[in-house]
Amino acid sequence: MGVDRILASSEQELKAQSAKYIAEKIKGFQESHSGNFILGLSGTNGQARRSRAQEVFEALGRRDEVDWTRVRVFLVDERYGVKLEEDSNLWLVRNSLLKSLAASGVKFPEEHLLAPLGLTPA
């Protein structure tokens, strides 16, 4: 496996290119395989970095070339001992990727994923 480099002239472009890159990898897998794509996500330390990750996850959720019914998402790690729920990686993924997906019409059967977003299952 090689290393890919994302080139961007600004932070906004880097976030958009990052979401596009991930979506292209998912789409490429989906076009050549019949199973589900497994996407492991992690948060990061620091308010600015977490904000950037949140924006990448939100942009990824808006990518329409991905068949989200064939994607399984899991957290690679969690930030135990956080004082605020907003500092957890679960909160980060729920309030970025899952929120974007729900806004674009993706249905979630798991009520516990939607309740924190104020949404109800399909």
Q: How far is CA 85 from the centre of its chain?
A: 18
Q: What is the pLDDT of residues 36-75, one digit of tens each?
A: 999 999 988 888 999 999 999 999 999 999 999 999 998 8
The residue extents of the domains of the chain are: 11-117
State which fold the 11-117 domain adopts.
Rossmann fold (3.40.50)
- Backbone dihedral angles phi then psi of residue 57, each to the nearest 5 degrees: -65, -40
pLDDT-based confidence at residue 1 (cuts at 50, 70, 90): low
Query: For residues 25 and 20, what is the distance between their CA atoms, to the nearest angstrom?
Result: 9
DSSP string, 17-74: HHHHHHHHHHHHHHHH-SSPEEEEE---SSHHHHHHHHHHHHHHHT-TTS-GGGEEEE
pLDDT, position 18: 96
pLDDT, position 102: 84
Can you tell me whether residue 75 is helix, strand or coil?
strand
Q: How many Cβ atoms are within 10 Å of 42's Cβ, its own excluded? A: 13
